[in-house]
Amino acid sequence: MSSTSTESNKRPKLDAKANVLMVGTGEYTTGYVGGTAADSDKGAGVVALTMFDLRRRGKVERVGMCGVNGKKFPGIRNHMQKNIGDVYKGMDLDCDTYPSDDTVNPKAYLDAISTFKAGDVAIIFTPDDTHYDIALACIKQGMHVMVTKPIVQTLEHHIELIKAAKEKNVLVSMEVHKRWDPFYADARDRARSQLGNFQYMYAYMSQPKHQLDTFKAWAGKSSDISYYLNSHHIDFSEWTLEGIARPIRVTGTSSTGVAHSKGMKTEDSITLTVQWENINDKSLGCAVYTSSWVAPKSDVHSQQRFFYMGSNGEINVDQAHRGMTVAVDGKPFGSVNPLFMKYTPTNGMFSGQGSYGVKSFECFVDACREVNAGTKSVESFDDGSLATACTTVQGTAILEAGRRSLDADGRPMDILYGEDGHTPTEIRPHEF
């Protein structure tokens, strides 16, 4: 990777557009899986569509995309033309791609990063075990970085990313679109302001069996369903309980069978039971997070719901069913959620800017432009407005502790803290 010059390290002004490198070419970025549109609620993708729309609206200029297998890019370009360019007016799909169309290169991200400069933006949607290396390379280039959840897989790597980001004064955040879901945001604010100390939470999230094929390149090899799906509601807990409670012990259990029958050495479902400690009086709360990727195909792509109880009240949220159903000839009956992504055009234009799937990225790009212009500091976004690296350490600790508990036949893992009492510093097997 080439070094940047003094000129390239100058930060642009607020009115300057952002240059964005998307690392990862899969379902969430492009909607392209296995040579065709993904069989999910994201057939047109999310990241690339959002970046092209931000360019149309004057917030983004250069767009780059990096994968491993350049031979996929002709199909990806055709897919984006069909699902974006031919559907919405005014979309410029120009995109620099890495590696070249005839090349397979797992390290192509290094070449791509070298063409961007300090203050530019990287958005990483790749297999979990690659997040750390790619994010660190982007940070060293002086780029702001957004990483899909989980931001990394270990507490050690998370702390190292925070240190690197502080050295370069760049914004590093985890992409958690549920923070912009009005139902989840309101539930969070109610829990913090009205419901008192934390008592109990049960969260469930699943996807259908064909996702095992979608993610066969890494499922059970470098990550699991807990890192992939439990990370959503674990982040909700950390976001909601900041300053109220902290996780202190994690126990992991699982179910198996379906994935094994496909020759995949991974769990079908994973449940993490997390003991939380209320900070004000040391009383205890319990959270149960369950995720699965062997659910039957149903009216939604992903079942998502939680029950939260505090000492003064409770909340139920069913994220999968928002009261809107659609039936079309030749297609299965479905419960749809345009609050997440509104793909249906209005007068030929993309009109999903109010969707929380879009807001998550747009708010990050806006924040990066503010940091570049000097109107806001990197630290100012640690207030919960973004899922910054500094404010998501507990979530990483829970996920790593859960994996370690599973690997130790269900032995509980304790999460230890440093002097601030808030940031985890170590995970240790529980001594009975």
Give residue-wise pLDDT tens across range 208-256.
998 888 888 888 888 999 999 999 999 999 999 999 999 999 999 999 9
How many other CB atoms are found less than 10 A from the CB of residue 65? 25
Q: pLDDT-based confidence at 33, cuts 50/70/90?
A: confident
CA dihedral 278, 279, 282, 284 (to 10 degrees): 10
pLDDT tens for each residue of 313-339: 999 999 999 999 999 998 889 999 999
Question: What does the H/E/C string look like for 317-363?
Answer: EECCCCCCEECCCCCCCEECCCCCCCCCCECCECCCCCCHHHHHHHH
pLDDT for 3: 40
Q: pLDDT-based confidence at 5, cuts 50/70/90?
A: very low
Q: pTM value?
A: 0.93
| Separation in Å, CA 382 to CA 111, 122, 308, 398 | 31, 19, 24, 20
Cα dihedral across residues 330, 331, 332, 335: positive or negative: negative
pLDDT beyond 70 at 11: no
pLDDT beyond 70 at 81: yes
d(C-alpha 218, C-alpha 27), whole Å: 14
Tokens representing 204 are 């469930």
Amino acid in position 70? G
pLDDT beyond 80 at 54: yes
pLDDT tens for each residue of 253-310: 999 999 999 999 999 999 999 999 999 999 999 999 999 999 998 999 899 999 999 9
The mean predicted confidence, pLDDT, of the chain is 94
pLDDT for 12: 58
Cβ(145)–Cβ(113) below 8 Å:
no
